[in-house]
Structure 1
C-alpha cells in the first residue's frame, strides 16, 4: 500500500471519535506500530486534529473532513466509466478496488457532482470469458510484474501448440475482451506478448533486476519505431 493511501486509511479509521490503538491500526493496515506512530505524527503535523498518545490510543476530533475532490463533468465520466470497465473486465482484486473507488468517489463528491456521477451513461458487463480463473491469473500477473518476479509459463499459441517460456513480466494490456502480458522472453531473447487466456499454468521463479533494453519503455520505443 502506498504511504498516501495508508494515511488516507488512517484518517478513515479514526472517524467517529472512537479511541483506536496503534496496534489496531497496524493490524488493519499490515504495517508495524512504529510506522503508525510516524504516520500519526505526520498527520498531526499537517493539521489533522488527532488527539492521543502512544500506548493509549488515538481519536480524531469531530468536524474534520478531507477536502472535497473537485472534478469536471468529463473527469467524472472518465473516472466512473473506467472503474466500471475494470470492475467488469479486471482481475478479482482489481474489480474489488474499482468498486471501492466508486464508493469513495461517491462519498467525497458534492451532491451535484454525485448526481452527475450516478448519471454517467457508460456501463460494462462481464462476459462468460471472465471466469474466476482468468480473474485470478490477471491479479497474479499484475503482482508478479509489480514485484519483478520471473515466471515460468506453460503457453499455447493460436494453433494450440504448447510451449514453455521463462518470462520477465513487464505489463498488462487490455484489448477489449482480451488481456495480454507484455514480457521479456528469455527463450527468444526479445519482447513477446502472451494472451492471458492461453496461459495454461504459471510458476513464480526468482526476482529479476530491471535492465536497460529489457524495460517496458524499451518495448514502447520499439513498437513506435516499428509502426
Structure 2
C-alpha cells in the first residue's frame, strides 16, 4: 500500500512539474502531507528515472525547457469533472472568461474517445446552473479576464469604479494583486494610486476597465498577505436564539455573517457568530427575522437594533 501511495505521489509531482514553471518542496510537502525530506527523495527518484529536473532544495524545482511527454489519457472521472467544471465556470465567472475556458475545454474534448464524448454530452444536457444575475456588470464582460492578465503580466489597469458610497464612477489607476470569491461576489485586492494604499474592490462595481502597457511600480506581496490583514480585524462574539422551526431559514446566509457554531435544545437553536461588522452588516441582517429571534449577547447589539427600529420610517 505504501509503495502504491508513493508511486501515485511521484506521478502527481511529475504532472505538477509539467504544469508549472517552478514548484517548491515546501508546497508539495503541505499538499501531500509528508515531510520536505520525503519530497526531496521523490524528486531524486524522478531524476534517476531520466526526468531532467533543475533546481535544488530550498529554492524550487522545474523541468528543463523543452522537455515534455505526450498528453496523458484522461480517466472517466477526470473527463466528467471537466464537464462539470464548465457548468460551474458558466455560473461563477464573467462571459469573456467563460468563453476562453469553453474554447480551451473544446480542444481537450477533441481528443476524447467517442464513448467519452457521449458521456460528457449526456452530463452537460442534464446539469443546470442558476443565472449570473448581479455578479457582474453586464456592460463590462471582460473584467475578470483583464484582471487575470494584469496580475500575470504585472501591468497596471485603468478603471472607472463606483463604490457603495459614491454617486458616480471614479477613475482609478490600480495594480491588481489577486482575485477571490466570497459570499455571492468576486473581489480583488489592488494597490490604488488614487488612495496611495491597498484597497479591496468588488468586480460588479467596475463600470469600465482596460489593461495598460505600464508596468507595476511596486513589488507586491501574495494575496494571502493582504487577506490576513483583513482577518486581523477583531471580531465581536454574538449569540442569538431562534425557534427550531425557523432556524433552518437562516442556514443559507448565516456563513456570510460569521457563523461559528450552533447548539440545539428541545425548542430552539442557539447560534454563535464572530462578526467583524456588527452594526452595518449583522444587525441589519438580524432585522430580517427579528420577530422570531432573541439576542443573548452582546447588549451593544440589542441597543443598536433598537436604534435601527426607532429610525425606521413607515
TM-score, normalised to structure 1, is 0.54
| Equivalent residue number for residue 90 of structure 2 | 87
Structure 2 matches for 1:53-202, cutoff 5 A? 67=71, 69-71=73-75, 73=77, 75-120=78-123, 121-127=126-132, 129=134, 133-162=139-168, 163-175=170-182, 178-202=185-209
Query: Which SS does the other structure have where 2:128 is aligned?
Result: coil
Q: How far, CA to CA, are the matches of 1:84 and 1:176 in structure 2?
A: 19
Corresponding residue SS for 2:110: helix
Query: Residues 94 and 142 of structure 2 are in contact (CA less than 8 Å); yes or no, is this contact kept in structure 1?
Result: yes
Higher RCO (C-alpha 8 Å, min separation 6): 1
> CA offset at residue 127 of structure 1?
3.8
- Measured at CA, do residues 166 and 131 of structure 1 come closer, stay the same or move farther in structure 2, by a change above 3 Å? closer
2:140 is paired with a residue whose SS is helix
Contact 1:153 1:164 in 2 (8 A): yes
List 4+ stretches of structure 1 deviating above 6 A: none
Contact 1:148 1:209 in 2 (8 A): no
1:223 and 1:78 map into 2 onto residues whose CA distance is: 33
Residues in 2 aligned to 1:176 and 1:82: alpha-carbon distance in whole angstroms: 19
State whether residues 89 and 126 of structure 1, in contact with CA within 8 Å, keep that contact through their aligned partners in structure 2.
no
Number of residues paired by the alignment?
Answer: 167
| Alpha-carbon distance in 1 for matches of 2:183, 2:82 | 18
Unmatched runs of 5 consecutive residues or more in structure 2: 1-17, 20-64, 235-314
Matches of 1:174 and 1:46 in 2, distance apart?
34
Separation in 1, partners of 2:108, 2:224: 31
Asked if 1:211 corresponds to 2:219, the answer is yes
Deviations 1:160-217, CA, capped at 9 Å, x for gaps:
444443321123334476332221233444432212221233465521155154x424
Given that 1:181 and 1:196 are in contact with CA atoms closer than 8 Å, whether structure 2 keeps it comes out as yes
Preserved CA contact (<8 Å) 1:171 1:181: yes
Displacement of 1:67 after TM fit? 4.8
CA–CA separation in structure 1 for the residues paired with 2:231 and 2:183? 21
Q: 1:117 to 1:161 in 2, by over 3 A?
A: same
| TM-score under structure 2 length normalisation | 0.42
**Structure 1 unaligned blocks of 5 or more:** 6-41, 48-65
1:12-27 mapped onto 2 (5 Å cutoff): none
Q: Distance in 1 between matches of 2:120 and 2:176?
A: 35
Cα offset, 1:225, TM superposition: 5.2
